[in-house]
Amino acid sequence: MDYRSSGVDIDAGHEVVRRIKRLARGTFTPGVLSDIGSFGGLFTLEPARPDAPVLVASADGVGTKLKVAFRAKRHDTIGEDLVNHCANDILVQGATPLFFLDYLATGRLAPHVAVSVVEGLARACRANNCALLGGETAEMPGFYGDGEYDLAGFIVGVVDRTRLVDGRTIEPGDVLVGLRSSGLHTNGYSLARRIVFDHLGLEVDTVVTELGCSIGEVLLEPHRSYLRVVQPLLSLGSVKGMAHITGGGITDNLPRVLPPGRAAEISRSAWPVPSVFRFLQAAGQVPDDDMFRTFNMGIGLVLVVAARQAQGVIDRLTRAGEEGAAVIGRIVAGEPGVRYV
């Protein structure tokens, strides 16, 4: 099995981004500092000031992890997933969250479900020191199935322009420090659901011995926020670049922060792959390349740091409670104009 046969075509997604860049660029004003395709969009109110604050904004959804929540009739963690995903997307450019907006659309509004979703949003916003500023709840009869809803989030953060983390100074010899994920986070669920529910015929409350709990508990494990453990490093200037490992895995996300002429080499034996990914790969007979392009494989965030600072960064992360942070690869020279892992 693979992601494409499960209904998700990553390459088609990249092609859409390539084609719409021209359309988006045609709207850019002097305050825009980023191109389409970065983790967060950058905008400054004072383009002429090199030290002016920069707003960093991102929008995302939870994907078909929602289908697992529907099956389990559990909705209090989905909001947490959404906020943490968005917070990580602006963190990788050095931003601190300011406020969050949500969009909840459903066929028929069930107040207890909506409240449960917002409880998760609020809990994660408090954890990320981010205001839940407002949002939109849309009731759309006939558009969504009974008991189903969709959820999207929009976050805005801020960083001084001089402290932007943009990867420009990344050079051969720098090393990659990987931070552990808590599970699938919010990506790869179309393939995971096909393996677990369609192929194996499991129910959400089925206990899987090798996982030590029910499959529903594993699949609904919330997406981690890395803000608390990474933010102290930003003031030190130790981090040259960061990649949030979401859809596309390490394969597609790490190149987004590498400057032209730089490549990354990953040692796949540098960290233990969590049991949930080994279980899914064996059950679905998923090829290695597809696994690493569909799932995070146990690494949720990658930091690029100078080799001489790597151990100090890992020590600081460990003191902050980040267990398992480790060097997982290095930066090498690549062909000019080519970005790859």
Judge whether 125 lies within some domain.
yes
φ, ψ dihedrals at 260, nearest 5°: -55, 145
Same domain for 126 and 191? no
Q: Which residues, 6 or more positions from 68, have their beta carbon under 8 angstroms from its beta carbon?
A: 189, 193, 204, 216, 219, 220
pLDDT band at 52 (very low <50, low <70, confident <90, very high): very high
Same domain for 69 and 126? yes
Same domain for 180 and 326? yes
pLDDT band at 11 (very low <50, low <70, confident <90, very high): confident
pLDDT digits (tens, 9 = 90+) for 183-241: 999 999 999 999 999 999 999 999 999 999 999 999 999 999 999 999 999 988 899 99
Same domain for 312 and 210? yes
Query: Does the pLDDT of residue 14 top 80, yes or no?
Result: no
C-beta neighbour count of 152 within 10 angstroms: 17
Same domain for 327 and 198? yes
Q: Domain count for the chain, please give it.
A: 2
Q: Residue 257 to residues 242, 264, 313, 325, 327: CA-CA distances in angstroms?
A: 7, 11, 19, 20, 17
Q: Residue 190 to residues 10, 33, 63, 104: CA-CA distances in angstroms?
A: 12, 34, 8, 21
Query: Does the pLDDT of residue 8 top 80, yes or no?
Result: no
Query: Does the pLDDT of residue 13 top 80, yes or no?
Result: no
In this prediction, residues 140-154 reach a mean pLDDT of 93
**Average pLDDT value over all residues in the chain:** 93
pLDDT at site 92:
97
pLDDT digits (tens, 9 = 90+) for 74-106: 999 999 999 999 999 999 999 999 999 999 999
Q: Give the span between the Cα atoms of 47 and 54, in whole angstroms.
A: 9
In this prediction, residues 300-324 reach a mean pLDDT of 95
- CATH number, domain of 229, equals 3.90.650.10
DSSP state of 197: I
Same domain for 96 and 184? no
Q: Does the CA dihedral 305-239-277-209 come out positive or negative?
A: positive
pLDDT at site 300:
98
Same domain for 182 and 159? no
Same domain for 182 and 237? yes
Percentage of the chain with pLDDT > 70? 96
Could you list the residue range(s) of the whole structural domain that residue 54 is in? 31-163
pLDDT band at 146 (very low <50, low <70, confident <90, very high): confident
- CATH number, domain of 130, equals 3.30.1330.10
pTM of the full predicted structure?
0.93
